[in-house]
Structure 1
């Protein structure tokens, strides 16, 4: 079953691209088929409840129902593996 992830940052391009590449690769390694898109943070409310996970690199002020993880550890490299494993666990639920 394909899992749908939305990657979001301030511009929808910069940090979300780096994070998307690492997350998708890690998911594939763990047997998870991923479809994804990159958006700006402001688009998340319109996508709420329509995907499996939001992965963000910017602050999100809006309360959302879709599970959300902050990907700053992937950007900085500190805590990256733990976060990638957490994402896999969330998607396998």
Structure 2
């Protein structure tokens, strides 16, 4: 099962909100994945075991996994497009 991490500055409110929304949207579409909220300070640790990263804050670092726009899940603007990209990644794997 694919693991998706969601990170914001503190790993509490915003990342939890996005992770919960993403998990719900995936479940509604019967797409299995683990979605976990993490704090940005621990990101390097979590990226090692993740298949994708949903970013809420800009990071200067580059990662060896696909990165998706988490702000889309907060605002709703572009949410469907980001969700489709994530679903495609999960189904290809």
Question: TM over 0.5, yes or no?
Answer: yes
TM-score normalised over the length of structure 2: 0.85
Distance in 2 (alpha carbons) for counterparts of 1:33 and 1:65: 22
Matched with 1:91 is: 90
TM value normalised by structure 1: 0.85
Residue 15 (structure 1) aligned with residue 14 (structure 2): yes
SS at match of 1:46: helix
Equivalent position of 1:27 in the other structure? 26
Q: Are 1:44 and 2:23 counterparts?
A: no
Which whole-Å CA distance do the structure 1 matches of 2:46 and 2:38 have between them? 10
How many residue pairs match? The answer is: 92
What are the Cα deviations for residues 33-82 of structure 1, in whole angstroms up to 9, with x where unaligned?
22232211232222334111111111111111011112111111211111
Q: Distance in 1 between matches of 2:78 and 2:52?
A: 19
CA contact (8 A) 1:12 1:38 kept: yes
Structure 1 portions without partners, runs of 5+: none
For the residues of structure 2 that align with 1:89 and 1:49, how far apart are their CA atoms? 21
Name the Cα RMSD after superposition. 1.5
